[in-house]
Structure 1
């Protein structure tokens, strides 16, 4: 792996200015675009111990091309892609506000109006992904970034589960955290866009608590039949708690869709209160619509092929 350090110029264009942080298999840097008046951009460099093969790099390039049509203000779509040695690099808009995770760690729980904004903007982003048959597959506060206006954007979408596992193998790292995984994902069942909704529900619960409980898997708790976690209803409305509980329903089709969450939040932001959620799909209807899992490639009716983020 080539050295990555401040002052390094990548692709004869992007000068690394400041290290921002790192994830499971990537580093993120603030960089200057020398071909665009030194505009600030975020540089995501996928690092590994062993590097990727040319075939794996080509797979990454194809997946990057597939994300270019995902243009929406709530989606943090890459603007450029290239390789640094055997490490793929993505250029993204720079988000001055950092991640939602960092915001919670610094500020604690957020006011309900700001939570409504999160539900609206992230719900919109998920709706757009679903319309393109893309499953994010890694919804969590660290993948929700904040711009200078305080708006929320979804990052790290469009990387397939196969490619994600390739990065983990090359980096010799363990897989994703269990904290945000849906019951169906924990149990090895097929997943769809509603699995992202469960992960969003976990995120909203953490936003209301202002903490990240260590070693707690709400998905596992739901499987075991434990009661859904409560939030402080002296500070938040009961209908916000109801919305979070709806996202944490065990059955994927018992959860609100991204489009419905966007609509609920829009109503809240316009009127100052949440509509009551009443449109749960009955269990027998959920069973009727679900295709039994008989093979590794069979998915429930109405789902899309998995595209992790």
Structure 2
């Protein structure tokens, strides 16, 4: 199969095999991008039910557009093959992560769970129930982003299904009691499976793993999940409470929605990162329990009063009929107008993110502005949008072709430089709608275009590519790096000394202005995403797993700074030698007021997946998923 061409897809390699089909890495020959191609098994292709289920997966997943759900690109029905083309994610399944590492730290588990809840919650809002959430159906990308896949047995709440009543749907270790009883799954069935997934991330096994299917089913139906605190000393007690709520046998007693579940996870994550909250404060779950108890008490009182009132009415009616006395009734009713809300100051936070409305829905990869108020953003499938009025209105620009654009940077006297696949480089002047192709010595995919304080312009990309220009892009020097990994970022302390970072902990240093680069030790095996020169010999690096490193000797040695976070950090910037900001791809913010020596956490949620960050004069601009452009003030 490898090397075969099916429709406009060329098979590159086999990625894996599931119950319905085989998944291959493929190259889309028309759009010139990699994708994952799921081909239905020959045996199941003879079954009308499996074919319908396969087509349903394509339809269902194609309707869902969310950064935590793997998107479907198209459906293949060629040469006797049925297939679905999906986004290719460089990474591994959550199942493989757990198998490889045994279990995950609390903070990392909660961060992954938040992403899963966002994706599943979005699917629920669109009317879909997944019905088979489990670690093997969650991809963890190289950038730390969790993406849900395999909507093969998902079902629209509003659609008549091909599954017969009385058929169990899902994977047994993660199956809710109602699914085991062959009842119709609901949103709470997905919430139950997500609770099992959290349990497995933390302990390495699911709560009801036993020798037989019967024992597993009995566990789901009758037994409470063993407390994690009994097996993991030091596990916060609130984790037991969260899992117990998610795994309630009765669906109505679980979290009412993924959003409610995520609120509790956000509160828990805040405690894990920042320490215990003030005495007497309640989590969102506890606050809701208090509200429900008050409602229950009120309901009981009102029911009792109603009962007394009925007796009184009967009694009065009896006397009226009997004509024994005249009764004059003066009834005054005072209604209860009290209400309760979640006002815990330890949980709620002032969200600093502001949104710029672009009017588009495709993912944006990079954005930049110039001082005149013009701005350009590039996104998926080579899409380009621009503004001439500081982002008030946006227009789409016809792309020049040649694949995706991943980077944009304003360059004086040239316009906006756009970089993309296979080294494609263009200059775009939006005021005049001029698009000019530039000469580039690189042929590998461009990931980023940056300018340093020294005046150097740099391009980084795949296969160890580093290009350096000292004349605003008129001429380029291709650096000798000796590596094949992706290089994400470069910065220079002066005209000679520079640091570059990339995949798999790649850390490079140059002393000749970027002509030759050498490996500068090993500080991590996780990807390093951004590097910035702060001043006076100080560099800062951020990367995957919440890692922050600082050097005070021009990159000759590094010190790790522990900030107790596992979210992927994607950007570090300084607007003065003392004031710095670090951002994660989900919107976590760290601020420094001492040149990066220490960092203070600021809780925030971007509500979109951040792909890149660009510093402005007083703001940081972010290109994000779903057509979102965000900014925060320094």
**TM-score normalized by structure 1?**
0.76
1:22-37 aligned at under 5 Å gives the runs 22-37=17-32
Give distance in 2, aligned partners of 1:63 and 1:206: 26
> CA 1:140 to 1:177, structure 2 compared with 1: closer, same or farther past 3 Å?
same
SS of match in other structure, 1:118: helix
> CA 1:36 to 1:117, structure 2 compared with 1: closer, same or farther past 3 Å?
same
Q: Deviations over 1:111-160 (max 9, x none)?
A: 11111112211111111111111110111111011112111111112645
SS of match in other structure, 1:67: helix
Partner residue in 2 for 1:253: 252
Q: Highest CA radius of gyration, 1 or 2?
A: 2
> CA 1:239 to 1:62, structure 2 compared with 1: closer, same or farther past 3 Å?
closer
> CA 1:180 to 1:131, structure 2 compared with 1: closer, same or farther past 3 Å?
same
> CA 1:110 to 1:52, structure 2 compared with 1: closer, same or farther past 3 Å?
same
Partner residue in 2 for 1:196: 190
Q: Deviations over 1:40-73 (max 9, x none)?
A: 2111112141524689757754663343331111
SS of match in other structure, 2:178: helix
> CA 1:59 to 1:153, structure 2 compared with 1: closer, same or farther past 3 Å?
closer
Partner residue in 2 for 1:277: 285
SS of match in other structure, 1:51: helix
Q: CA deviation at 1:92?
A: 1.2
Contact 2:56–2:152 (CA under 8 A) maintained in structure 1? no
Give distance in 2, aligned partners of 1:86 and 1:164: 25
> CA 1:251 to 1:31, structure 2 compared with 1: closer, same or farther past 3 Å?
same
Moved more, 269-278 or 132-141: 269-278
Contact 2:129–2:187 (CA under 8 A) maintained in structure 1? yes
Contact 1:183–1:220 (CA under 8 A) maintained in structure 2? no
Give distance in 2, aligned partners of 1:84 and 1:151: 32
Q: CA deviation at 1:32?
A: 1.7
RMSD: 3.0
SS of match in other structure, 2:139: strand
Give distance in 1, aligned partners of 2:50 and 2:171: 24
> CA 1:86 to 1:59, structure 2 compared with 1: closer, same or farther past 3 Å?
farther
Contact 2:210–2:216 (CA under 8 A) maintained in structure 1? no
Contact 1:119–1:261 (CA under 8 A) maintained in structure 2? no
> CA 1:197 to 1:50, structure 2 compared with 1: closer, same or farther past 3 Å?
closer
1:228-267 aligned at under 5 Å gives the runs 228-231=225-228, 232-256=231-255, 257-267=257-267
Q: CA deviation at 1:30?
A: 1.4
Contact 2:203–2:232 (CA under 8 A) maintained in structure 1? no
1:18 lines up with 2:13 in the alignment: yes
SS of match in other structure, 1:194: helix
Give distance in 2, aligned partners of 1:64 and 1:177: 20
> CA 1:53 to 1:24, structure 2 compared with 1: closer, same or farther past 3 Å?
closer
Match of 1:119 among 113, 116, 125: 113
Give distance in 1, aligned partners of 2:53 and 2:135: 27
> CA 1:261 to 1:96, structure 2 compared with 1: closer, same or farther past 3 Å?
same
In the alignment of these two chains, the number of paired residues is 268
SS of match in other structure, 2:123: helix
Unmatched segments (≥5 aa) in structure 2: 156-160, 277-282, 297-634
> CA 1:30 to 1:262, structure 2 compared with 1: closer, same or farther past 3 Å?
same
Give distance in 1, aligned partners of 2:59 and 2:129: 16
Q: Deviations over 1:242-261 (max 9, x none)?
A: 11111110111111121112
Give distance in 2, aligned partners of 1:242 and 1:126: 21
1:79 lines up with 2:73 in the alignment: yes
1:139-158 aligned at under 5 Å gives the runs 139-157=133-151
> CA 1:87 to 1:179, structure 2 compared with 1: closer, same or farther past 3 Å?
farther
Give distance in 2, aligned partners of 1:108 and 1:146: 16
Match of 2:224 among 215, 223, 227: 227
Contact 2:220–2:249 (CA under 8 A) maintained in structure 1? yes
Q: Which has the higher helix share?
A: 1
1:88-237 aligned at under 5 Å gives the runs 88-157=82-151, 159-160=153-154, 176-211=170-205, 213=209, 215=211, 220-224=218-222, 226-231=223-228, 232-237=231-236
Give distance in 2, aligned partners of 1:65 and 1:7: 27
Give distance in 2, aligned partners of 1:210 and 1:67: 29
